[in-house]
């Protein structure tokens, strides 16, 4: 795969697509949605957003994107899975069959309980930003094991909340639902894509929870 300079994709089957597009635009990175295998061509990276992992797994098979994504990763594509996206990428999904199985982690789905158990907190992730980062957990899974080739970026209490290997980043929370741009800049760097700003400038004061709605006419 010949990665197009500066191009990232967001898987557009179900889930928080527009929120990721909003954050990528804010860091100055060209981005497009991906619904078909051919739309992976030329991308440097792909975000698999949060949503409902069982639904997303089924849609990946229906649209024949599961095998296409595996081939694209072999060709150099980088992936970032947030929440349900992390579940899809895990090699081991406790209690269920794995979906894409592309990173050597074990994950426990709905580990915090129902949506009523969603919460926000501030975390420090030195590899990603110098200052604390706000993150949002919504029916979040827990990463309960990381393989030998996986780097743990954030560990909280009794679980891993963010990890990566050379090809793939996974977070069990939703950076796209906060004003923080830190993780989107970090993923862009992982993909070799230049964004504007610096690591320290991790929040956008112009962001609101409704900012993504300017993309709604594209949905």
Of 19, 20, 83, 184, the catalytic one is 83
Count of residues in the chain:
219
Predicted local distance difference test score (pLDDT) of residue 209: 57
Is-catalytic flag, 64?
Answer: no
pLDDT in tens, 52-101: 888 999 999 999 999 999 999 999 999 999 999 999 999 999 878 899 99
In the CATH hierarchy, which top-level class contains the domain 8-218?
A: alpha beta
Average pLDDT of 31-42?
96
Contacts 24+ apart (CB under 8 A), 4-7: 4/42, 4/43, 4/44, 5/44, 5/193, 6/30, 6/44, 6/193, 6/194, 7/31, 7/32, 7/42, 7/43, 7/44, 7/193
Listed range (69-73, 77-81, 112-116, 151-155) with the worst mean pLDDT: 112-116
What contacts 96, CB < 8 A, 6 or more positions away?
109
pLDDT at 212 over 60: no
Find the catalytic residue in 19, 23, 176, 191.
Answer: 176
Find out whether 68 and 30 touch, Cβ atoms under 8 Å: no
Whether 218 is a known active-site residue: answer no
Closest CA relative to residue 80, chosen from 210, 194, 191, 203: 191
Sequence ranges of the domains in the chain = 8-218
Residue closest to 144 by CA, chosen among 87, 70, 88: 87
Q: Please confirm, yes or no, whether 55 is among the known catalytic residues.
A: no
């Amino acid at each position: 795969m010949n990665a197009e300079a500066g191009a990232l994709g967001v898987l557009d089957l179900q889930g928080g697509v527009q929120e990721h597009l909003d954050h990528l635009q804010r860091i100055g990175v060209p981005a497009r949605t991906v619904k078909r295998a051919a739309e992976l061509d030329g991308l440097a990276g792909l975000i698999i957003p949060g949503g409902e992992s069982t639904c997303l797994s089924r849609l990946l098979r229906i649209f024949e994107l599961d095998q296409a994504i595996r081939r694209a990763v072999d060709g150099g594509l980088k992936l970032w899975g947030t929440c349900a996206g992390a579940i899809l990428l895990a090699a081991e999904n406790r209690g269920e069959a794995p979906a894409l199985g592309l990173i050597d982690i074990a994950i426990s789905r709905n580990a915090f309980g129902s949506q009523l158990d969603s919460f926000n907190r501030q975390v420090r992730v030195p590899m990603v930003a110098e200052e604390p980062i706000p993150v949002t957990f919504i029916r979040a899974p827990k990463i309960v094991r990381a393989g030998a080739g996986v780097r743990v970026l954030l560990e909280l209490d009794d679980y891993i909340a963010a990890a990566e290997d050379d090809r793939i980043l996974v977070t069990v929370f939703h950076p796209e639902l906060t004003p923080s741009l830190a993780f989107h800049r970090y993923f862009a760097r992982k993909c070799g894509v230049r964004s504007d700003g610096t690591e320290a400038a991790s929040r956008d004061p112009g962001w609101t929870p409704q900012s993504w709605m300017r993309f709604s006419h594209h949905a």
